[in-house]
Chain A
Amino acid sequence: MTLALSQTLVRPGFTLDVTAELPAQGITGLFGRSGSGKTTLLRCIAGLESGVRGQVTLNGTIWQDPQHFVPAHRRAIGYVFQESSLFTHLDVRGNLEYGLKRVAPQQRRLGFDEAVALLDLSPLLRQRAPQLSGGERQRVAIARALLTSPQLLLMDEPLSSLDQRSKAEILPHLKRLRDSAAIPIIYVSHVLGELMRLADQLLLLEVGRVRAAGPLQQLLARSDLPLGAMQDGGSVFDAVVQEHDPIYHLTYVLISGGRLAVEHQSASVGERVRVRIDARDVSLALTRPERTSIINILAARVLQLSDEADPAQVLVRLEVGSEPLLARITRRSAAELALAPGMALFAQVKAVALMESSAAG
């Protein structure tokens, strides 16, 4: 399951030159500043850009190579546009069926009723698009794209035109889509927080070129990329809810390197959740701290130390279980503890944020 890309597009004042091989599973975040070519690359994958050279192959199916160019309407993609995209001459049902009826019945993997249930659209079916709220429209657009039973879903900042409430309304649907693992998604965003919530891997674009690509956790922990600085050095972990503690109002979640306590959550036991730990909330101790108010203490190993813009600080890359964790401590502490790669120690985590409950920031 791979999307292999090699695309070159020359425009006045801008050149897109991207070669990448992306796992076609889960959510791949396409991240970069505005103008870095994210949307253009997405349009290239969809076959919407003309004059682009190179190749696109999804799971062995050639969509473009020097001899062939499969036009957009023959590629098995779903596309959710950044802004309004519903047809005004059709009601919601008509919009949903537009793509559905153009797919042969034997190729359909998602039925009309399923899509309606997945995106919670049954009360809206007979309404006309102009009557819907922004969030409702985007839900219809997502369902409409899914109903073409695509092998790849392309989403171009689907939340950017929405207010906080509508974002909060859509996010759970996107997570459900991801967790059902039914379809790989390429998700464009310039908001790192959104991708930290959703993405499994990232492709980082800078002025039309790939700066880095790989699993989200790994990229966030890399000190040579601007990602850490951008969101204050956060690490994310995919965790599973283990149990609730009603007395102390806590919820315990499991990660590969241990157990974390978070404030009580409504998530049910066994559910997959994503947690975030900020580098500044992690402190280090050489022995397991006892008699401390900090609940979350994880055994860790130092991987790397790197300088920060602030000369008083260093960023320590740790490994907890098999996952990276960043800690920002003072240079003095690092010297006093004589931190060096390979050292085993303990990370005290002051705050763990569950990323499921609130809207994207």
Chain B
Amino acid sequence: MAGADLTAIWISLRLACTTTLLLLLLCLPLAWWLATGASRWRVVIDALVSLPLVLPPTVLGFYLLLLLSPRSGLGAALRGLGLPAPAFTFTGLVIGSLLYSLPFAVQPLRDAFQGVGVRALEVAATLRASPWNRFLTVAMPLSARGLLTAAVLCFAHTLGEFGVVLMIGGNIPGRTETASIALFNHAEALDYGAAYRLSLILLAVCFALLLLVYGTNRRLRATGVLV
């Protein structure tokens, strides 16, 4: 396999790992708030968070490009501070992926937290657990399946994204060319041998991930239901 393809796979993996980690950190509080909060704004935020599911990826990528390119919006402001504009960089890819995969992290977590239910937390409260302690020792373990699902879906979905990373990353080999873009480049150049190899690898990785989820889910007995 060509070195460029290995680099593309490496970029994809790095992007998927970074995105997954950041999204989980970001989405734990967000999903908790969506699951348990009583604010009127919840519906609006719920809809906003789900937007990337239905929005064409190129639309999201285009808006991000407008926002993050050196000439406009946030990009210019960052340049004013002496920082590089995120468009066409790995950072830009991460920002795009965060938004694009957001619903895949939030929804399983929100559903899992809702499944834990108020009662389990009340039980923990009467057993002297503080609110933070209840979250860590009851809500989190009872949401283990949701957490795993969120992580794997984020990872796999980021690995497979195309439109957003193409728009915001600009398809720069060695820097922002991810595996899925490299695959597209091979196919466009009629280099079917390279395309076969790369798609097979991506297929295998995605299948292995799903196998991991379903295998682990069977063994994770605890769900957010009291008996």
Contact = CB atoms under 8 A, between A and B. Distances in A.
A46 B133 CA distance: 18
A73 B125 contact: yes
Contact of B222 (A47, A71, A89, A98): A89
Given A87-B120, A88-B226, A137-B227, A99 B128 contact: yes
A169 B220 CA distance: 32
Contacts of B213: none
B125 A85 contact: no
Shortest Cβ-Cβ A-B pairs, 5 listed: A89-B222, A99-B127, A79-B126, A102-B128, A72-B125
Which of B122, B130, B141, B227 neighbours the largest number of chain A CB atoms within 10 Å of its CB?
B227
A97 to B, nearest CB: 10
A77 B126 contact: yes
B223 A48 contact: no
A73 B128 contact: yes
Contacts of A129: 226-227
Nearest to B125: A72
A354 interface: no
29 contacts: A48-B122, A71-B125, A72-B122, A72-B126, A73-B125, A73-B126, A73-B127, A73-B128, A73-B134, A74-B128, A78-B126, A81-B119, A81-B123, A84-B226, A84-B227, A85-B123, A86-B226, A87-B120, A87-B123, A87-B142, A88-B226, A89-B141, A99-B128, A102-B127, A102-B129, A103-B128, A130-B221, A148-B126, A148-B128
User: Which of A72, A89, A137, A144 is packed against the most chain B CB atoms within 10 Å?
Assistant: A89
Nearest to A150: B126
Interface in A60-80: 71-74, 77-79
A148 B221 contact: no
Contacts of B126: 46, 48, 72-73, 77-79, 145, 148
Contacts of A71: 125
Nearest to B123: A85
A128 interface: yes
Secondary structure at the B interface, as helix, strand, loop or mixed, is helix
Interface in B162-215: none
B47 interface: no
Nearest to A137: B227
Contact of A87 (B122, B138, B144): B138
Interface string A142-157: 0011001000000000
B124 interface: yes
A89 B144 CA distance: 10
Contacts of B142: 87-89
A48 B226 contact: no
B225 interface: yes
Interface residues of B, number: 25
A98 B221 contact: no
Contacts of A148: 126-128
Nearest to B143: A89
Given A85-B120, A98-B127, A137-B227, 19 more contacts: A46-B126, A73-B125, A73-B131, A78-B126, A79-B123, A86-B226, A86-B227, A87-B120, A88-B225, A88-B226, A88-B227, A89-B138, A98-B124, A99-B128, A102-B133, A128-B221, A129-B226, A144-B127, A148-B126
Contacts of A99: 127-128
The residue in A85, A128, A144 that gathers the most chain B C-beta atoms within 10 A of its C-beta is A85
A7 B156 CA distance: 53
A88 B143 CA distance: 11
A263 B124 CA distance: 46
Nearest to B127: A99
A144 B134 CA distance: 16
Interface string A32-53: 0000000000000011100000
Instruction: Tell which of B127, B130, B221, B222 has the most Cβ of chain A within 10 Å.
Output: B127
Interface string B86-119: 0000000000000000000000000000000001
A73 B131 CA distance: 8
Contacts of A86: 226-227
Interface string A186-225: 0000000000000000000000000000000000000000
Nearest to B128: A102
Nearest to A98: B127
Contacts of A88: 142, 221-223, 225-227
Contacts of A130: 221, 227
A304 to B, nearest CB: 43
Q: Looking at A77, A86, A88, which has the most chain B CB atoms within 10 Å of its CB?
A: A88
A77 B128 CA distance: 9
Contacts of A78: 126
Nearest to B220: A89
A273 B131 CA distance: 43
A73 B129 contact: yes
A137 B119 CA distance: 16
A73 B123 CA distance: 10
A117 B119 CA distance: 28
Contacts of B227: 84, 86, 88, 129-130, 132, 137
A148 B129 CA distance: 11
A163 to B, nearest CB: 16
Nearest to B140: A89
Nearest to A147: B127
